[in-house]
């Protein structure tokens, strides 16, 4: 298994060890992390949990898309649904974990990687961090509780980040509420040793620094105005004709129209409920249908398998997706809502 789980000193340490696959989270890794957290919950020797990852390119760039494609493309939709049910249970468990949960997040942090890190109590980013929820580009939606993180971002940044897949640097991530502390990555080994020795998370705040400003705050007012509009069609029609507007339009147009429209609704439902379990329930309503009734298989094919970057979405344009289609994707599944 491409993960190391151990008790060392005062911490329980989880290290993702698939750098060749950008530490993509597999089903077996999900099971192992949950079992470790259950075991450490009442262990007096474990003062805090630390999750980190091998490699410089990514903490984790997402979930195991190859597995999802291999099963769903053969008509086995239950394998993906089982993965999501167990993964989402883990995400909820991390968000409610009674001990400090520290995540050191270098490089790409996306999708499933967000789910095992950014619901924790101490989320550390560095110079190389690139955090995003780009699921619409592969026919999915921001899941693993990501809709709630987006909903809690200031103003309408959540709708913007979720529909465009914008990559946040360390400063952006802190502004958007996806991270708590910037610590230079050269300091992470020493920080880890102190946590092992003491289990005291005060060492994190003591080493935090102010990162260089990112571009997100500069566009905040524009985003708040445009992404408060009710539908994607209205947002797209209102985008300015400048460079930023063109890039934003291109990013939204490149995504699955069904996924982008559902993401807009998911973020708004998550904002209204403000509860991790409610968000995960809504996400599962979509993801459980994403391969059988959505664009997920085609999205993976175009991005990961054939790499032709030319997905053939079920709906040609964002304007073709109706409110009734969104409601159908977000209705209670035939098997009932996920139990968390």
Beta-carbon contacts of 125 under 8 Å, excluding residues fewer than 6 positions away, are 105, 131, 170, 173, 174, 179, 181, 182, 183, 211
Active site residue 63: yes
User: E strand or H helix at 124, and its extent?
Assistant: strand 122-125
Residue 42 burial by Cβ neighbours in a 10 Å radius (0-12, 13-18, 19+): exposed
Active site residue 135: yes
Output the six-digit token pair for 124.
Answer: 């550390």
What's the distance, Cα to Cα, between the start and end of the chain in Å? 26
Contact present, 52 and 23 (Cβ < 8 Å): no
| Cα–Cα distance for residue pair 197/293, rounded to 1 Å | 51
**Three-state SS for 9?**
coil
Q: Which of 143, 265, 295, 318 is catalytic?
A: 143
| Cα–Cα distance for residue pair 40/144, rounded to 1 Å | 22
Q: Which of 112, 115, 139, 199 is catalytic?
A: 112
Contact present, 235 and 222 (Cβ < 8 Å): no
Beta-carbon contacts of 95 under 8 Å, excluding residues fewer than 6 positions away, are 119, 145, 276
Contact present, 72 and 297 (Cβ < 8 Å): yes
Q: Which of 12, 63, 107, 126 is catalytic?
A: 63
| Cα–Cα distance for residue pair 81/137, rounded to 1 Å | 20
Output the six-digit token pair for 94.
Answer: 């991390």
Output the six-digit token pair for 104.
Answer: 């050191």
Catalytically active residues are 63, 112, 135, 143
């Amino acid at each position: 298994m491409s993960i190391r789980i151990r008790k060392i000193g005062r911490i329980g340490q989880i290290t993702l060890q698939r750098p060749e696959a950008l530490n993509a989270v597999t089903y077996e890794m999900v099971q192992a992390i949950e079992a470790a957290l259950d075991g450490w919950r009442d262990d007096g020797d474990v003062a805090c949990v630390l999750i980190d990852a091998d490699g410089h390119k990514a903490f984790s760039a997402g979930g195991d898309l190859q597995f999802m494609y291999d099963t769903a493309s053969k008509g086995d939709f239950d394998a993906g649904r089982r993965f999501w049910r167990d993964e989402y249970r883990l995400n909820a468990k991390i968000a409610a974990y009674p001990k400090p949960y520290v995540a050191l997040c270098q490089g790409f942090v996306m999708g499933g990687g967000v789910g095992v890190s950014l619901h924790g109590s101490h989320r550390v980013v560095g110079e190389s961090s690139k955090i995003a929820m780009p699921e619409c580009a592969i026919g999915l939606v921001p899941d693993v509780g990501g809709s709630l993180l987006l909903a809690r971002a200031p103003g309408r940044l959540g709708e913007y980040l979720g529909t465009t897949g914008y990559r946040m640097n360390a400063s952006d991530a802190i502004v958007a509420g996806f991270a708590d502390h910037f610590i230079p990555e050269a300091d992470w080994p020493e920080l880890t040793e102190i946590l092992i020795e003491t289990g005291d998370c005060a060492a994190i705040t003591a080493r935090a620094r102010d990162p260089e400003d990112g571009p997100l705050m500069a566009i905040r007012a524009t985003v708040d105005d445009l992404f408060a509009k009710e539908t994607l069609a209205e947002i797209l029609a209102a985008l300015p004709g400048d460079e930023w507007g063109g890039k934003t339009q291109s990013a939204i147009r490149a995504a699955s129209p069904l996924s982008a429209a559902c993401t807009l609704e998911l973020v708004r439902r998550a904002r209204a409920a403000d509860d991790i379990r409610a968000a995960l329930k809504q996400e599962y309503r979509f993801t459980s249908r994403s391969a059988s009734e959505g664009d997920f298989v085609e999205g993976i094919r175009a991005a990961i398998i054939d790499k032709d970057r030319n997905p053939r979405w079920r709906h040609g344009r964002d304007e073709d997706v109706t409110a009734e289609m969104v409601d159908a994707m977000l209705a209670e599944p035939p098997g009932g809502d996920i139990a968390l």
